[in-house]
Amino acid sequence: GDSVTQMEGPVTLSEEAFLTINCTYTATGYPSLFWYVQYPGEGLQLLLKATKADDKGSNKGFEATYRKETTSFHLEKGSVQVSDSAVYFCALRGGAAGNKLTFGGGTRVLVKP
Amino acid sequence: EAGVTQFPSHSVIEKGQTVTLRCDPISGHDNLYWYRRVMGKEIKFLLHFVKESKQDESGMPNNRFLAERTGGTYSTLKVQPAELEDSGVYFCASSPGVRNEKLFFGSGTQLSVL
């Protein structure tokens, strides 16, 4: 079945540091890939998405590129802020599981001033 | 416009008791999903409603879980009797159409079974 693996946290870094969260997936067909973010006390929000190979999703300074050859969708941000502290979830949709979202385990990111 | 709302935000119960979680989707959204995150692990799909009908309930763990969506509006998820392993965060999400890939999530219900 479909699966998503992402690096375990927590990831602690200083403001203005570079952030990378690795995400790899296993799926049949051609799934869409997503990054969701959960800020403290809030629900999951869609951060960015990519629907086909080589697409780059971007939002709020975050970027991720759909790499079919390495089955990866790593999340990056060049200069993080304290407000980026959150839990980040990589997910896919449209593989063997159809319209259901398949999530990774989540990565907690803590940005210190 | 109100987002997806879930009640309660937290629930602490004893093993063997019954708990009912509620989700109010965004008005007009036909699709309603339940997910849960157990013990800080990955978020897993529970079930999917289209209006009042269960489209997919393949993720429901066992028959102690009962989901309903009366009149195709709000949904409830009842756990009876609750077990320790049911502890986790239960998320609800809604979307206007199945092919619309954006799901709107609620903030979740943190369930603790002691």
Q: In angstroms, rounded to a whole number, what is the distance separating the alpha carbons of residues B30 and A90?
A: 25
The residue whose two tokens read 């799934």 is: A31
Q: In angstroms, rounded to a whole number, what is the distance separating the alpha carbons of residues A22 and A26?
A: 14
- Whether chain A has a CB inside 8 Å of the CB on B67: the answer is no
* pLDDT value at residue B100: 56
**What would the pLDDT profile of B13-30 be if each residue is shown by its tens digit?**
999 999 999 999 999 999
The overall longest dimension of chain A from CA atoms, in Å, is: 43
Q: In angstroms, rounded to a whole number, what is the distance separating the alpha carbons of residues B105 and A33?
A: 17
End-to-end CA distance of chain B: 37
Per-residue pLDDT 10s for chain B (114 aa) are 679 999 999 999 999 999 999 999 999 999 999 999 998 788 999 999 999 999 999 999 999 999 999 888 999 999 999 999 999 999 999 998 766 568 899 999 999 999
* pLDDT value at residue B98: 62
* A102 burial level (CB within 10 Å; 0-12, 13-18, 19+): buried
**Is residue A95 predicted with pLDDT exceeding 90?**
no
pLDDT more than 70, % of chain A: 99
Section A21-41 average pLDDT? 92
Q: Which residues of A touch B42 (CB under 8 A)?
A: 4, 103-106
**Is residue A23 predicted with pLDDT exceeding 80?**
yes
Q: Which residues of A touch B37 (CB under 8 A)?
A: 106
Q: In angstroms, rounded to a whole number, what is the distance separating the alpha carbons of residues B103 and B34?
A: 11
**Is residue A41 predicted with pLDDT exceeding 90?**
no
* pLDDT value at residue A83: 96
Mutate to test the interface with A, among B42, B91, B110 (most CBs of A within 10 A): B42
